Amino acid sequence: MNGGMRTGGLAAVFAHPDDESFGSAGALALAHDAGRATRLLLATRGESGNAEGVPDDELGATREDEMRCAAGKIGLDEVTVLEGYADGSVADAPFDQLVSEIGLWLADRRPDAVITFGPHGVTGHPDHVVIGSATRWAVEQLAERGVGPHAVYVVSPVFLPGGERFDLSAEEQGATHRVDITAVAGRKMAALECHASQPDAAELLADLRAALDQFGELFEGYTRVRPVVQAPHPEFDTRLV
Does the residue 238 lie in any domain?
no
Domain count, the chain: 1
* Distance between CA atoms of residues 117 and 131, nearest Å: 7
What pLDDT does 162 receive? Answer: 79
Which residues share a beta bridge with 228? 225
Q: How confident is the model at residue 233 (pLDDT cuts 50, 70, 90)?
A: confident
Which DSSP category does 183 fall into? G
Does the residue 43 lie in any domain?
yes
* Distance between CA atoms of residues 216 and 182, nearest Å: 8
Residue span of the structural domain in which 112 resides:
10-226
Please say whether the dihedral angle defined by the alpha carbons of residues 60, 122, 216 and 230, taken in this order, is positive or negative.
negative
pLDDT of 121-137, one tens digit each? 999 999 999 999 999 99
Does the residue 99 lie in any domain?
yes
Does the residue 95 lie in any domain?
yes
Q: How many beta carbons lie within 10 A of that of residue 165, not counting itself? A: 10
CB 115 within 8 A of CB 150: no
For residue 24, what is the domain's CATH number? 3.40.50.10320
Q: Which amino acid is at 30?
A: L
pLDDT of 143-190, one tens digit each? 999 988 889 999 999 998 877 788 899 999 989 999 999 999 999 999
Does the residue 174 lie in any domain?
yes
- CA 234 centroid distance within chain: 26
Does the residue 213 lie in any domain?
yes
* Distance between CA atoms of residues 30 and 12, nearest Å: 13
Does the residue 5 lie in any domain?
no
Q: How many beta carbons lie within 10 A of that of residue 194, not counting itself? A: 23
Beta pairing, strands 151-156 & 219-226: antiparallel
Q: Which amino acid is at 236?
A: F
